[in-house]
Structure 1
């Protein structure tokens, strides 16, 4: 079996001086990457390609995430900020090109097609989500659903190539892990009011708040004190913890249904950070 070393291999593409000096990159999609590698590596027919497929997918995801950091307007005149914006565009293009090159040179044309179709679906979902946000028609649950689907699409494309043993479990486990990660990050977003706009809490208050409270959300620069008051009034952090707790329990149930003890053990370890925050710890982990 192959050992997991995707982040280290990816550094040859991400750690260019020009990028590191002049701009920031999004976080590496570590959880989804490790999860995909674990499933592919468990499959006898795919284990020899697990590293290649996972690396290529991680680079595509990194490319998409890097492009998401590009500001919508190019009106920035300050040289440093303008250069950072330009390099984000180029870096995103570069990561996407590397995925194509890696798969093409090994003759994995079908996988190029699958990931390319997934990229199209990601962009469609992003446009749908953007339109709902712009029209202020997004609910808090819509927000979670859209974000989970957007973050999952590239990795879901592997459902078609997995063995019959793991194919049924893959979508549920992937989405469940992504949902846990998203809720986990949303909890930390509540610690900074600068990250409040567009968060789960923002859409929850927009959905359930009074007319005056909804107006407060629309101002260009929200009042920090008012935001904290709203977060407290609607128990945003408490609700997020409850959602995370519910999701971790569902994730455990999905994992327990897997036939492979080794894969079960690996996935439980991957989910342990979420379990610590919710006070849960599966018996499988206690026995390791």
Structure 2
């Protein structure tokens, strides 16, 4: 069985001095990347291509996430910020080009088509999400569901590859892990003044807040002290922790139903960082 080394291989594309000095990149999609590699590597039909497929998909995801960080406005005047914005655009384009190059060099034209279709679906889902946000028609539950679908979409394109070995386990396990990942990230967004707007906590409060409280959330210059008060009032953090605990337990049951002991062991290690985080909370979670 090949060992997982995708982040190390990806460094030849991501660790350029110009990028590291002048801008920052999103986190590498470690959890979803490891999941894809584990499932492909356990499938004898596709194990030889598991590293190539996972690397290409991870670079596409990194490209999409990098472009997501680009400020919508191109009117940035400050030189340092403008350069950072430009490099994010170029870096995202570069990561996308590597995906095409790697797969075309390997003669994997069908895989290029498959991932390209998934990219289109990601962009469609994002447009739907942004439209609902702009129209204030988003609920907290919708936000989690749509975010999970957006983050999963590239990796879901491999579902037909997994069907002959893992039946329907791949899409279900992928979405479950991704949901835990999203909730995990939302917990930290709640603790960040800059990241709270548009988060799960934001939409949750908006659903239950009074008219005056909604005005506070929509104010051009948000009073952070008042926002913190609302977060506390509506138990945002505690509800997210509870959601994480619930979904981890559901994921445990799904993983335990898999036939492969090796895969179950690998999935435990993949989810270990989230489990360790959860274990530090008042209610210690059982391990997979």
Same fold at TM > 0.5: yes
- For 1:66 and 1:273, the matched residues in 2 are separated by 23
Query: What is the TM-score with the length of structure 1 in the denominator?
Result: 0.96
Aligned to 1:240: 240
Aligned to 1:168: 168
Once the two structures are superposed, the pairs formed by residues 89-108 of structure 1 within 5 Å of their partners are: 89-108=89-108
The reply on whether 1:178 has 2:183 as its aligned counterpart is no
Unaligned runs of 5+ in 1: none
Aligned to 2:191: 191
What SS is found at the alignment partner of 1:196?
coil
After TM superposition, give the deviation of residue 163 of structure 1 in Å.
4.3
- After superposition, what is the alpha-carbon deviation per residue over 1:126-165, rounded to whole angstroms, capped at 9, x for unaligned? 0000000001110000110111000000000000122422
- For 2:139 and 2:219, the matched residues in 1 are separated by 19
What SS is found at the alignment partner of 2:138?
coil
RMSD between aligned residues: 1.0
Aligned to 1:149: 149
How many pairs does the alignment contain?
A: 283
Aligned to 1:16: 16
Aligned to 1:47: 47
- For 1:19 and 1:143, the matched residues in 2 are separated by 31
Once the two structures are superposed, the pairs formed by residues 50-129 of structure 1 within 5 Å of their partners are: 50-129=50-129
- For 1:47 and 1:11, the matched residues in 2 are separated by 22
Verify the 8 A CA contact 1:43 1:163 in the aligned structure 2: no
Aligned to 1:281: 286
Verify the 8 A CA contact 1:160 1:167 in the aligned structure 2: no
What SS is found at the alignment partner of 2:72?
coil
Verify the 8 A CA contact 1:100 1:112 in the aligned structure 2: yes
Query: What is the TM-score with the length of structure 2 in the denominator?
Result: 0.96
Aligned to 1:218: 218
What SS is found at the alignment partner of 1:252?
helix
Verify the 8 A CA contact 2:70 2:85 in the aligned structure 1: yes
Aligned to 1:38: 38
Verify the 8 A CA contact 1:186 1:199 in the aligned structure 2: yes
